[in-house]
Amino acid sequence: MNNPLRVLFLCTGNSCRSQMAEGWTRQLKGGAIEAYSAGIETHGLNPNAVRVMAEAGVDISGHRSKNLNELKNVSFDYVVTVCDNAHESCPLFPGKTRVAHKNFDDPPRLAKEAQSEEEALNHYRRVRDEIRAFVETLPEGLETPLQSAENRK
């Protein structure tokens, strides 16, 4: 049997979007993909992300916010930046690591304008569902360039 692909989901603070992507990937693609998440910085695990993932049947409550440096000894096949800031700040990775970009809206930023807790959570739910739809395309979806590292400046 082939070894699973190692995929890192990279975001600014590893608190929400990258955590959801790791959770969905482990849940839906665990045999084919070994999922990781990290941030350019660490912002702590977002409780609303934990809550909406639990609503969908995925427990990420045991995750923690990790800095990219904590995974420096892991060789990744793919790095998927899930926010524009991480994409712009993404370091170069050695070897054959391919970098792709798939931007998702920032639920905490969107939730600041919400008039109620339910409205705020709806932003998290929408992004959660968009991330799930993306993860469902993996690993084949990684073969189609989302936005390759060569296009970054």
Tell me which residues are annotated as active site.
11, 83, 90
Taking phi over 0 as left and psi of -120 to 50 as alpha, with beta for the rest, 95 belongs to left
SS3 per-residue string spanning the chain? CCCCEEEEEEECCCCCHHHHHHHHHHHHHCCCEEEEEEECCCCCCCHHHHHHHHHCCCCCCCCCCCEHHHHCCCCCCEEEECCHHHHHHCCCCCCCCEEEECCCCCHHHHHCCCCCHHHHHHHHHHHHHHHHHHHHCCCHHHHCCCCCHHHCC
